[in-house]
């Protein structure tokens, strides 16, 4: 049952992509949306029948899924609770993104929805993969749809952004591939057969490979993920790509594509090379702290709303990775929780900004502001998701953030939690400064976009063009925007689309589900935390012993090269 569903999760979007390709252009958006909803339905069914919410095991079992061998590489698909949560988030965001793109994509809609369906298939493939080849192929394949989405429907510098995105990701990805191949070669040498199963590679690499090898393998694997996550200083593609990508592309990028990096870290890099992860932990933690503080400050001086949110992604993701590198279960659980939360709230922020971009064709906060006067409904959602993003307790962002902070705080050598770590209170204090900075830049964002006196681009030009009398009427219409049904007096001379002044039912309809989810996850995160926890504990199984040895000896290298580390393998 689950095997079929997992298989369907990939095949369905591909099939719909094909249908979109052969359908008439006006139908494309409907078919794409139906496809996304169908995939969501399958994902929900998968989640509904999922038997391993509480024990961190995979469904379907690997043997059960092994029924589709091809080219010597078994297409083994399956998910544990963490992967399934990310799948659910992807499948949940996708229809919302597609509906959100109905009006903004006017050129070549067929291609747009085609690439989006392929993108969904490849992302789900990466989350579902139980085989390193499938993982890597899906992981890298996401670049192709993304490249076309940016290059065809992006902003003025879209080509440059698309090329930079692809080259940077590809360059990192190659190194990840080298790392994976190296493990496979070693396995081939040791066992005499090729095996690309993630579980067997993890078991082999984490227990049989020398410490010095693991240190290198970890860095190779990390190279691709660090770009994708993105960790400072490999983050510079992100603001550019976000700035240039169409709204849908930005949402999926922040919502899910970045999570491929964090997920790869969680599923591939950290379990496969735990010694490497411990050896490099100190460096990575410092990078995270730099990312949290520096990117937050950079956010504060942005003029472009979308770039601001893009940089806020960098600082949030650094927070998420800080939790991951705390190497204790509360921190890593928080990190996974944070992935979901960040996907929802940042994705929604990009949707909101896309909505005003569609209306005003600018996202420059110097030209645009005080939109509460004309767009109260949009403003409500904008403020709501900003609050979610800055980690207000009661909304989703807080839970992950708090767990990550506690994780960093308790990641001390004293091991009060049973998970010794290499951080400590000072890391949490510095990361906590990021919370203050988050309030600074996010409130600056809403303070300029939502509150304050109304500023609209092209407003005065419209007056001159249409004569003074008309300008007067226009101003009055603006004054009484609250008093009359919105849009009734709205003149469309300063906007290119026929969209209503405030967001309409379609746009409200895509924001409401996200808002509800944010609230529910903030007030009742318990089930999700409980689902994440066992998988995290499996992943972390080898770590406490390694960290203790590391703390005693100062390094794992010498001891590792003489005898392979103890065989306390994680067991995906």
Partner 1 sequence: MLSFSLLALADDHAATAASLAIPAAIDAPDLRWAGLIIGLPALSALLCLLCGALKLRSKLPALITIIALLGSFVLTCMLFSQVGEGTPRVVGLFEWMSFSWGTGDRFQSFAAPFALYIDALTLFWMLFVTGLGSLIAIYASEYMESDVGKGYTRFFGGVSIFLAAMATLVMASNLVVLYLGWEGVGLASYLLIGYYYAKPSAVAAAKKAFIMNRIGDLGLALGIGLIWVNYDTVDYATLFRVLEAGPLATQGDWMPSAIPFLLMLGAFGKSAQLPLFTWLPDAMEGPTPVSALIHAATMVTAGVYLIARTYPLFELHPDALATVAWVGGLTAFVAATIGMAQYDMKRVWAYSTISQLGYMFLGLGVGSTFGAGYHVFTHAFFKALLFLTAGAVMHGFAGQIDIRKLSGLRRVPGFKLVSWLALLGCLWLSALPFSAAFFSKDTILTTALGSERSDFQFLGWLGLFTAFLTAYYTFRVWFRAFAGPVQFEAGDDHHDDDHAHDSHATASHAHAKSEFHPHGPRLGIRIPLIVIALGVVAAGWPGYDALFFHGENWVQSMMMHSSAMQGAGEVHGREIFGLSAHRMTSIVGTSACLLGIAIAYWTHLRDRSAADRARAALRGFFLTRWIPATLENRWYVDEIYHALFRLPLWVASHILHFFDKTFVDGFLVDGTGRVPVAVARLFQPLYNGVLQGYAATMAGGFVLIAGWVFWIWLRGNG
CA distances 211 to 56, 132, 149, 187, 275, Å, are: 27, 21, 42, 16, 6
Q: Which is nearer to partner 1, 87 or 521 (CB)?
A: 521
- Site for partner 1, residues 471 to 490, rule: CB under 8 A: 475, 479-483, 485
Q: Which is nearer to partner 1, 8 or 168 (CB)?
A: 168
Residue 168 as a binder of partner 1 (CB under 8 A): the answer is: yes
Residue 18 as a binder of partner 1 (CB under 8 A): the answer is: no
Residue 452 as a binder of partner 1 (CB under 8 A): the answer is: yes
Q: Shortest distance, CB of residue 167 to partner 1, whole angstroms?
A: 5
The site map against partner 1 for 320-349 (x = CB under 8 A) is --------xxx--x----------------
Residue 166 as a binder of partner 1 (CB under 8 A): the answer is: yes
- 269 DSSP assignment: I
* Among the listed residues 362, 347, 368, 387, the one whose alpha carbon sits nearest the alpha carbon of residue 451: 368
Q: Shortest distance, CB of residue 308 to partner 1, whole angstroms?
A: 11
Give the contacts of 436 (CB within 8 A, at least 6 positions apart). none
Q: Which of 210, 318, 320, 547 binds partner 1 (CB under 8 A)?
A: 210
Asked whether the beta carbons of 288 and 325 are under 8 A apart, the reply is yes
Q: Which of 105, 533, 549, 560 binds partner 1 (CB under 8 A)?
A: 533
Residue 518 as a binder of partner 1 (CB under 8 A): the answer is: no
Structural Rg of the chain based on CA atoms: 24
Q: Shortest distance, CB of residue 479 to partner 1, whole angstroms?
A: 6
Q: What is the DSSP secondary-structure string of 226-268?
A: HHHTTPTTS-THHHHHHHHS-HHHHHHIIIIIHHHHHHHIIII
Q: Shortest distance, CB of residue 204 to partner 1, whole angstroms?
A: 15
Helix, strand, coil: what percent of the chain each, to 5?
A: 75, 5, 25
Beta-bridge partner residues of 131:
197
Rounded to the nearest 10°, the torsion over CA 260, 261, 262, 265 is: 110
User: Candidates 58-66, 195-203, 458-466, 521-529 — which segment interacts with partner 1 by CB under 8 A?
Assistant: 521-529
Q: Which is nearer to partner 1, 116 or 398 (CB)?
A: 398
Q: What's the half-sphere exposure (Cβ side, CA atoms, 13 Å) at 103?
A: 18
User: Candidates 76-84, 129-137, 446-454, 547-555 — which segment interacts with partner 1 by CB under 8 A?
Assistant: 446-454
Asked whether the beta carbons of 42 and 9 are under 8 A apart, the reply is yes
At residue 74, the 3 state secondary structure works out as strand
Residue 452 has φ and ψ, to the nearest 5°, of: 90, 175
Q: Which of 24, 26, 192, 453 binds partner 1 (CB under 8 A)?
A: 453
Site size with partner 1, rule: CB under 8 A: 86
* Among the listed residues 143, 128, 144, 89, the one whose alpha carbon sits nearest the alpha carbon of residue 8: 128
Q: Shortest distance, CB of residue 194 to partner 1, whole angstroms?
A: 18
Query: Hunting for tokens 């004054």 — which residue is that?
Result: 479
Q: Which of 29, 267, 363, 373 binds partner 1 (CB under 8 A)?
A: 373
- Site for partner 1, residues 228 to 257, rule: CB under 8 A: 233, 236-237, 240
Q: Which of 14, 18, 34, 435 binds partner 1 (CB under 8 A)?
A: 435
CA atoms of 220 and 1, how far apart (whole Å):
36
Q: Which is nearer to partner 1, 2 or 412 (CB)?
A: 412
Q: Which of 82, 382, 529, 569 binds partner 1 (CB under 8 A)?
A: 529
Residue 372 as a binder of partner 1 (CB under 8 A): the answer is: yes
- Site for partner 1, residues 298 to 317, rule: CB under 8 A: 298, 300-302
Residue 399 has φ and ψ, to the nearest 5°, of: -60, -50
Q: Which is nearer to partner 1, 39 or 81 (CB)?
A: 81
Give the contacts of 49 (CB within 8 A, at least 6 positions apart). 1, 2, 5
Residue 38 as a binder of partner 1 (CB under 8 A): the answer is: no
Q: Which is nearer to partner 1, 94 or 183 (CB)?
A: 183
Residue 121 as a binder of partner 1 (CB under 8 A): the answer is: no
Residue 444 as a binder of partner 1 (CB under 8 A): the answer is: yes
Q: Which of 63, 107, 526, 562 binds partner 1 (CB under 8 A)?
A: 526
Q: Which of 27, 144, 380, 551 binds partner 1 (CB under 8 A)?
A: 380
User: Candidates 3-11, 134-142, 209-217, 461-469 — which segment interacts with partner 1 by CB under 8 A?
Assistant: 209-217
CA distances 297 to 27, 239, 363, Å, are: 45, 14, 20
Q: Which is nearer to partner 1, 77 or 232 (CB)?
A: 232
Q: What is the DSSP secondary-structure string of 355-372?
A: HHHHHHS--BTTT-B-GG
- Among the residues of 390-504, which ranges form H helices? 396-410, 425-449, 459-465, 467-479
Residue 57 as a binder of partner 1 (CB under 8 A): the answer is: no
The site map against partner 1 for 395-434 (x = CB under 8 A) is ---xx--xx-xx--xx----xxxxx-----x--xx--xx-
């Amino acid at each position: 049952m689950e095997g079929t569903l997992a298989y369907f999760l990939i095949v369905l979007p591909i099939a719909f992509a094909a249908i979109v390709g052969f359908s008439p252009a006006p139908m494309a958006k409907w078919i794409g949306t139906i496809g996304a909803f169908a995939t969501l339905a399958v994902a929900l069914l998968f989640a509904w029948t999922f038997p391993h919410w509480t024990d961190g095991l995979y469904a379907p079992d690997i043997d059960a899924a092994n029924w589709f061998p091809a080219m010597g590489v078994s297409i083994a698909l399956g998910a544990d609770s963490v992967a399934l949560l990310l799948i659910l988030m992807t499948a949940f965001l996708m229809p919302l993104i597609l509906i959100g793109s109905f009006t903004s994509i006017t050129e070549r809609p067929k291609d747009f929805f085609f690439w989006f369906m392929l993108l969904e298939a490849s992302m789900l493939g990466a989350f579902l993969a139980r085989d390193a080849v499938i993982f890597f192929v899906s992981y890298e394949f996401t670049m192709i749809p993304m490249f076309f989405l940016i290059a065809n429907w992006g902003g003025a510098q879209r080509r440059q952004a698309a090329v930079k995105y692809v080259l940077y990701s590809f360059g990192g990805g190659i190194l990840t591939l080298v790392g994976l191949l190296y493990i496979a070669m070693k396995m081939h040498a040791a066992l005499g057969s090729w095996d690309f199963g993630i579980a067997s590679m993890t078991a082999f690499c984490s227990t049989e490979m020398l410490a010095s090898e693991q240190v290198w393998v970890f860095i190779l694997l990390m190279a691709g993920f660090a770009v994708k996550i993105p960790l400072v200083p490999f983050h510079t593609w992100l603001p550019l790509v976000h700035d240039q990508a169409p709204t849908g592309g930005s949402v999926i990028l922040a919502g899910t594509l970045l999570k491929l990096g964090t997920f790869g870290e969680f599923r591939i890099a950290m379990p496969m090379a735990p010694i490497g992860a411990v050896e490099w932990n100190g460096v990575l933690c410092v990078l995270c702290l730099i990312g949290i503080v520096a990117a937050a400050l950079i956010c504060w001086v942005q003029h472009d709303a979308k770039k601001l949110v893009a940089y806020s992604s960098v600082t949030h993701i650094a927070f998420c990775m800080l939790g991951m590198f705390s190497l204790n279960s509360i921190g890593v659980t928080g990190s996974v929780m944070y992935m979901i939360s960040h996907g929802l709230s940042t994705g929604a922020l990009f949707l909101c900004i896309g909505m005003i971009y569609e209306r005003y064709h600018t996202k420059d906060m110097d030209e645009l502001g005080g939109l509460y006067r004309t767009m109260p409904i949009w403003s409500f959602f904008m403020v709501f998701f900003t609050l979610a993003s800055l980690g207000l307790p009661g909304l989703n962002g807080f839970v992950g953030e708090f767990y990550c902070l506690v994780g960093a705080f308790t990641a001390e050598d004293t091991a009060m939690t049973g998970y010794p770590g290499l951080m400590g209170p000072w890391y949490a204090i510095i990361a906590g400064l990021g919370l203050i900075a988050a309030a600074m830049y996010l409130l600056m964002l809403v303070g300029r976009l939502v509150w304050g006196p109304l500023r609209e681009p092209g407003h005065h030009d419209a007056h001159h063009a249409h004569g003074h009398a008309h300008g007067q009427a226009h101003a009055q219409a603006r004054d009484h925007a609250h008093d009359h049904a919105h849009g009734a007096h709205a003149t469309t001379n300063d906007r290119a689309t026929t969209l209503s002044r405030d967001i309409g039912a379609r746009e409200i309809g895509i924001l409401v589900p996200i808002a509800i989810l944010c609230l529910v996850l903030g007030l009742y995160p318990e089930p999700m935390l409980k689902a994440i926890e066992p998988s995290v504990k499996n992943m972390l199984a080898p770590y406490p012993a390694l960290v203790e040895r590391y703390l005693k000896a100062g390094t794992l290298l010498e001891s590792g090269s003489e005898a392979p580390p103890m065989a306390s393998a994680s067991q995906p």
